[in-house]
A and B are shown apart, each in its own frame.
Chain A
Amino acid sequence: MRESLLGWQQYRYLRWALLALVASIALYLTQGGAHAIQPPNGGTWQGYVLGTAGALLILWLSALGVRKRSYSSTMGTVQGWASAHVYLGTLLLVVATLHCALQFGFNVHTLAYVLMCLVIVSGFYGLYAYLHLPGQLSTLESGTDQQGRLDELARLDTRIRDTSQRCDANLQSLMTSALELTSVGGSAWQQLRARDRSRVAVPGSGGEQGKVVANEGQQLVIRHLATRIPDAHKQSEAELLNELLALFGRRQVVLQQLRREVQLRGLLKIWLYFHIPLTIGLLVALLVHIVAVFIYW
């Protein structure tokens, strides 16, 4: 993945981008100075050239979204486009900065710049995610996948329910609530944090009302089962508890993998929720920037 995206065609687009970068900086340096008509900015002819280049880059970079969906297109490979997208997107940051010559203010021009920076920064995160997370995900998913894990979890839960019927009412209630109050995922933030928010209802005893407490990593149930085993009066009871302990142990592992998987898939995808709307916002801000400049020419 790393080689194919960044190093596509012997770093063809890195070389292009570096060339354009040097040209942009050289162009920028020809403006300004103590004897210029005006300081470096978007209004000099160099500024117009850099601005036009930047606007065309933005349009082309946005077109990746279209090209990606055109499966029948023969206009370069998607991989080549993605490689160019990364390098030319980074180049855009420099070109636009040189275009505005670091003149910022509370106006639509700086708005376009800020949106562009946000798009590029979210893109940098996306690049990081695409380079590093799929490897972790495929290691995690060796042998099974999300649906397989959900199926295994359903099987485990059925066996726990069946087995717990042979226990006393308190223990059965504890087991059932541990199953019911298990939490995986949730809101986007919870999916990305992957913190185990599972709980369990501990039945009341001796007139005390039952209460719901945290059951992170199924620890409370496992600890409870483990402490009950030495106190078992009968061999059959000990075996039953042992079986339940094994089932919850496996459940703990499966849940942990499931949460990590949900987290990785979320981290792989979440940046697009920013990158794409911000890109659309940037395209409109670019239009507003250009129109505003020429309304008050």
Chain B
Amino acid sequence: MYFLVRKLTGRGNAEALETEYQGDKLTLGGDAAAMVPLPGFSGGITITATGSGSARVSARQAIISVDGAATNKASVNVGDQFALPGYALEVIPPPPGFDFALQLVAEGKPASAFAGDIGLDGHTWNIRRASWILALLVLVVGLVIPALGLFSDEVADTLRSTPLPDDGLWSSGPLVAAHQASGVALECQACHQEPFVMVQDGACLDCHRGINEHADLAVHEAHHFAEVRCASCHREHNEPALISRQDKGLCVDCHATPGDWEVAGQPAMGAINAFTGAGHPEFRLALLEPQGPGGAHGWDFRRVLPTDETAREQSNLKFNHEIHLDASKVQHEGTGAALDCASCHTPKDDGEHFEPITMDAHCRSCHGLNFDMFEPELELPHGDLRAAIVAMEAHFIREFTDPELRRQRAADKPRRLPGKRDSASSCEGSGLDCGRAEALKEAEYQFANTGCITCHEVLETGLADINDRWFVQPVKLTGDWFPHARFNHNSHLSQAVDSADEVCETCHEASVSSTATDILMPAMDNCLGCHAEGKGAAALDCVSCHAFHQDSGTLSRLARDSAILQGDTP
């Protein structure tokens, strides 16, 4: 198709420039791709000839002005006039050979073609409107929508489970790993139960139900702790920092001046300012002592200083560390190697305490309880005096009442065993009498000479009855010398160079201890060498050794949930 465009120069003399175009359609516009350039015009129109000088005109936007009405589509015939911004157009009769002809005149001054383009106004966003939009966006996304969740848990859940903004946007930092649990991690209200109210202790104690107060509120006045919230010491949203307060002030704020809060009649506590020789009282051991003869009224702790040479452990055990650690005297049964500390002392999982030492696991391999040289593999039961006597009586009575056994015993030449009683090989009398007599002799030997009495304190009552004649004092080893402190043996053993025993010996001088009544516990000096305040990296905080929340006492859940902290006694 052939198009003719006649462009008036606009100088009033009807002078015109005519240009021919060929194509499916004619495009007019401001961009470089348009066939007919229209300077200063930002859009574009397309003209398709429909025959006999008519055409369809179309544009993306409603910029085509026909009879004063703006449209984006129009059909034009010869003689029709229409307008585009800055231009007036008229459809003229196409000359022969042409399908469509258009007359075009630019309106306005040439300079004004870009006069509107030389300032930022109108070409950027409106500052006022942009300010409003940004302000509203921040307000709605950051506050209004997340706040909807405060009024309804369902709305809060919906917000959290969709990409919509939720109250997670208000979080001031990540939670500690322990709180990254379902029901806590995303549900802010698990802790922040009331808007504009600080996190209440109840929120913590809903889960941490076993936590005890620092002091027993039955003893100490509760009001000392009334203003101390859980969050006073436990600050969340600070990961990777620790969630628990570690500073010295946690303890010394009160413990520097015990006179302010001490209760009359309770054991006095020394003033504590720092972990130094002068700032911390000497350690006090919890020494287990029998109450009444032989512990008849039970056992209780007495606090003694480790430096107190007169303090003795009364465990009723006889034991000599020095001999057991002497390789020339005692060796491992299997390997023949010398014993070391770990042969008997195995740390528990907590790294602080030790598994109990038992006869079966640690002693019996050397200290067997065989009692009849004719049957050396036979051993007495351990730990039950009555059972041991019954076992001896039963064994000997059976031997002397059974004619075959009795004859065999008389015929066998017994092998002498060092440290064992020479058994009677023959006896005149009934089997029952002979058996009983032999049992009594053996019992006497076991309890008074070399068996039980090797390791145990045995009380001889002087009574005639074999069952009442001896009493083996029960062994009571002190299992926790420092019940109010924690200590990790394992981390200290990492210092071992050649053998772990060297490390053990720096605090527990076992190799020179010849009696079990020695107290092998260290004094504070042993710790201060490395861990005193000012010792650098190894210096310890109070909480490194002491727990704030006590193992027993007043349950925080009860105390903080009630009026106790307001002064009532629990």
Interface residue SS majority, chain A: helix
Contacts of B19 in A (CB 8 A): 173, 203, 210
| Cross-chain pairs A/B with CB under 8 angstroms, 19 sampled | A39-B238, A43-B235, A105-B171, A105-B173, A107-B170, A108-B170, A154-B111, A161-B11, A184-B117, A188-B120, A266-B120, A277-B134, A280-B131, A281-B138, A283-B135, A284-B138, A285-B138, A288-B138, A296-B170
Question: In the complex, what's the smallest C-beta–C-beta distance from B195 to chain A, in angstroms?
Answer: 5
The digit string for B115-139, where 1 denotes a CB below 8 A from any CB of A, is: 1011110011101001111110111
A146 and B118 contact, CB distance less than 8 A: yes
Q: Are A177 and B120 in contact (CB under 8 A)?
A: no
CA gap between A43 and B123 in the complex, in Å: 45
Is A66 part of the contact surface with B, judged by Cβ < 8 Å?
no
CA distance A277 to B132 in the complex (A): 8
For A157, list chain B residues within 8 Å (CB): 110-111
Q: At the interface, yes or no: B245 with Cβ under 8 Å from chain A? A: yes
Query: Which of A161, A187, A288 has most chain B Cβ within 10 Å?
Result: A288
CB atoms of A297 and B199 under 8 A apart: yes
Q: Is the C-beta of B364 less than 8 angstroms from some C-beta in chain A?
A: no
Does B519 belong to the interface (CB within 8 Å)? Answer: no
Task: Kindly state whether residue A26 has any CB partner on chain B within 8 Å.
Answer: no
**Segment of A14-22, A30-38, A80-88, A89-97 engaged in the interface with chain B:** A30-38
In the bound assembly, the distance between CA atoms of A277 and B127 in angstroms comes to: 6
Are the C-beta atoms of B142 and A292 separated by less than 8 Å? yes
Q: B32 contacts A199, CB within 8 Å?
A: yes
CB pair B172 A293 closer than 8 Å: yes
| Minimum CB–CB distance for B88 against chain A, Å | 15
Interface centre among B110, B199, B235 (most CB of A within 10 A): B110
Q: A206-219 CB contact bits vs B (8 Å, 1 = yes)?
A: 00011010000000
Among A182, A295, A296, residue most surrounded by chain B Cβ atoms (within 10 Å)? A296
Q: Which residue of A lies closest to B130 (CB)?
A: A277
A109 to B199, CA, bound (A): 20
Q: For chain A, residues 106 to 162, give those with C-beta under 8 angstroms from any C-beta of chain B.
A: 106-109, 111, 115, 146, 150-151, 153-154, 157, 161
- Would A165 and B15 count as touching, CB distance under 8 A? yes
What chain A residues lie within 8 Å of B11 (beta carbons)?
161
**Whole-angstrom CA separation of A43 from B198 in the bound complex:** 13
Task: With A146-B118, A180-B39, A284-B139 as known contacts, state yes or no: A273 contacts B171, CB within 8 Å.
Answer: no
- From 132 to 175 in chain B, residues with beta carbon under 8 angstroms from any chain A beta carbon are 132-135, 137-139, 142-143, 146-147, 150, 167-174
CB pair A103 B173 closer than 8 Å: yes
Tally B residues with Cβ within 8 Å of A: 64
Interface range for A? 35 or more
Distance A291 CA – B248 CA, assembled complex (angstroms): 34
Chain B residues with CB under 8 Å of A266's CB are 120
* 0 or 1 for each of A154-184: is its CB under 8 Å from B? (1 = yes): 1001000100010001001100110111111
Contact of B192 (CB < 8 Å), options: A146, A287, A296: A296
Known: A105-B174, A270-B120. A212 touches B131 (CB 8 A): no
Does A54 belong to the interface (CB within 8 Å)? no
- Report whether A273 and B117 are in contact in the complex, using a CB–CB cutoff of 8 Å: no
CA distance A137 to B137 in the complex (A): 37
Q: Are A262 and B113 in contact (CB under 8 A)?
A: no
The closest CB in chain A to the CB of B17 belongs to A173
Q: How far is the CB of B501 from chain A (nearest CB, A)?
A: 33
Q: Which of B120, B133, B173 has the most CB of A within 10 A?
A: B120
Contacts of A172 on B, CB cut-off 8 Å?
17
